[in-house]
Structure 1
Amino acid sequence: MSKKKKKKKQKHKEGNKATHKIKVVNELTPEQEERYEEVNHKKLICTLVLTGIFVLLLAVYIILMTFKVKTVIVEGNQHYTDQEITAIVQKGKFGDNSIFLSLKYSNKSITGVPFVSSMDVDVLDKNTIKVTVYEKKLAGYVEYLGKYMYFDKDGVIVENSSVKTPGIPMVTGLTFDHFTMYEPLPVDDEKVFKTILNITQLLNKYEIETDKIYFDKDYEMTLYFGDIRVAVGDKGSLEEKIQMLTSILPQLQGQKGLLNMKSYDQGLENITFTQE
């Protein structure tokens, strides 16, 4: 057989093979289609949920980092340091986030802090907050059974602490055998508390810090400044006496003795110092 005939025969066979190829189509049953759609639906939901979680976490991260408090301005504090006030305000989770603090302290003051009537928190910008502290007006404190009882202008015990507060004088000479929190100290003459408040305010005004205020049985005062005792007497000409101390005390530095100012209102020459 010739080569041409063989080639034609081979092509004819291949053509027959091609014509006999059958296309097979696998059709899904209704149950299979339903299951297939259900799987795709679950995959879509899972993708959407994961995307949502990622977006949410990203948003939270951006908020936490963008609105992070970096500056805290504290005003009105005396008993507590700026750091202590900041710790009180930012206590708890997200305490350093300005948005959280804005919501937490919106139209709400911080109360229940010893020596403080209230504290207001204002968010100035995304990284800065301002804390205004309103401390209780303390006139002085007495020591009783190892504790310091702080009282206000009316002699009402408002705080009981083991810590001394700078700028608040210790008061001695008052006689009492008990006390009740949030009630006046049981002394013979309650007017003494107004005198204590007055002298405390004057000492702060003229930036003089006394160690102790002593009252005798007639409620005449003696102020203690280290080794110097100042017999002030009664409340007459009290501001003039305190003002005069601003120039006298520096001259007595390093000495020990009694400065008698009881007769100050009768003339400057009646002020005497007895060295000890």
Structure 2
Amino acid sequence: MEYGWTEKKKTGIAAAVIVLLLILIGLFSLQIKTVTVTGNVRYTQEQITEMLFPDKVSRNPVVCYLKDHFQEHVEIPFVQDYKIEFQGLNKVEIIVYEKSVVGYVSYMSSCMYFDKDGIVVESTSKTLPGIPEITGLKFGHIVLYQKLPVENDAVFQEILNLTQILSIYQLEVNRIQYNSFGEAALYMGDLEVILGNNVGMNGKIAELSDMLPKLEGRKGTLYLDTYDETATNAMYAFKPRQ
């Protein structure tokens, strides 16, 4: 009697093991086929997908889940973190949380990108489209993930304000330069725009936006530092350059 019970027990265990193996084989044979990416600006959906799912093994939902929960996330430049949400066994959504970047300074052959508070969030040899270089700032030794050691921290608020206004008018600039008085100048291709201090900055950029179509293809310096919001039909000097 005992012998028969033991045989049945062994048979039951073997069957359970086989079923478990079949389940595992089935799970590991699955592939994530649909990937959607949200929150991405710096990278395309295809780029994010390629970085997180470089091969067939990484596209397995079991492997993906284990890596996402028990391993360090893949480091992606200009990305603070990301979250993977399963919407089925073969479909995931990747939610990207990008670092806030307003500009960069050149330092020891590298581009040091910083956020609205002046914290250096990334160091790379590459320049990103849509992010202006900031020149004219005086600073000492730069350390990644620490604030740029400038003389006056108020300049970061001015940079943020200016870049936000430029974004509203959908204007891209190559470089923003500040002089020792905190006055700004923009560089857009062959065009230099003298803005002066931060008073009436929204109006200055609005004027620039209106004038750009007429200045297309021209080289020179536009002086908007004389902007006066109370003036009507104001004229601004333009000094052409060969």
TM-score in terms of structure 1 length? 0.73
Q: Does 1:275 align with 2:215?
A: no
Residues 52-102 of structure 1: CA distance to partner in whole angstroms, max 9, x if unpaired?
Answer: 776555434433455x22221112222233223213333677421335434
Q: Flag the 1:261–1:216 CA change in 2: closer, same or farther, 3 A.
A: same
Aligned mate of 1:127, from 81, 90, 94: 90
- Greater mean deviation of Cα atoms: 212-221 or 238-247: 238-247
Q: Is the 8 A contact 2:111 2:127 kept in 1?
A: yes
**Which position in structure 1 is the counterpart of 2:115?**
152
Structure 1 window deviating more from structure 2 (139-148 vs 69-78): it is 69-78
Paired residues of 1:109 and 1:119 also in contact (CA < 8 A): no
Question: Could you tell me whether the CA contact under 8 Å between 1:109 and 1:118 is conserved in 2?
Answer: no
Distance in 2, Cα, partners of 1:260 & 1:237: 14
Q: Which residue of 1 aligns with 2:32?
A: 69
SS at match of 1:258: strand
- CA pair 76-107 structure 1, distance change in 2 beyond 3 A: farther
Instruction: Provide the C-alpha distance between the structure 1 equivalents of 2:76 and 2:93, rounded to a whole number of angstroms.
Output: 18
> Which of the pair has the greater relative contact order for Cα pairs under 8 Å at 6+ separation?
2
1:265 match: secondary structure: coil
Counterpart residue identity of residue 275, structure 1:
P
Q: Name the amino acid aligned to 1:121.
A: I
Secondary structure of the residue that 1:195 maps to in structure 2?
helix
More divergent stretch after superposition (100-109 vs 210-219):
100-109
- 1:264 aligns with 227
1:255 alignment partner, SS class? coil
Counterpart position of 2:201: 238
Correspondences of 1:147-186 after superposition (within 5 Å): 147-186=110-149
Q: Work out which of the residue numbers 22, 26, 48 in structure 2 matches 1:85.
A: 48
Task: Choose 105-114 or 85-94, whichever is displaced more.
Answer: 105-114
Aligned runs of 1:1-276 on 2, under 5 Å? 58-66=22-30, 68-90=31-53, 94-102=57-65, 104-105=67-68, 110=73, 112-266=75-229, 267=231, 268-276=233-241
Cα distance in 2, alignment partners of residues 244 and 192 from structure 1: 23
Q: What CA distance in whole angstroms lies between the structure 2 residues aligned with 1:153 and 1:96? A: 36
Greater CA drift, 136-145 or 234-243: 234-243
1:7: which partner in 2? Answer: none
Q: CA deviation at 1:132?
A: 1.4
Aligned partner letter, 2:237: T
- The one-letter amino acid paired with 1:175 is K
Aligned residue pairs total 233
1: distance between equivalents of 2:150 and 2:79? Answer: 26
What is the rounded CA distance, in whole Å, between the counterparts of 1:190 and 1:218 in structure 2?
A: 14
In structure 2, stretches of 5+ residues that fail to align are none
- SS for the counterpart of 1:269 is coil
RMSD of the alignment, in Å? 3.1
Identity percentage over the alignment?
36
Query: Structure 2 counterpart of 1:241, which letter?
Result: K
Q: Which runs of 5+ in 1 are unaligned?
A: 1-36
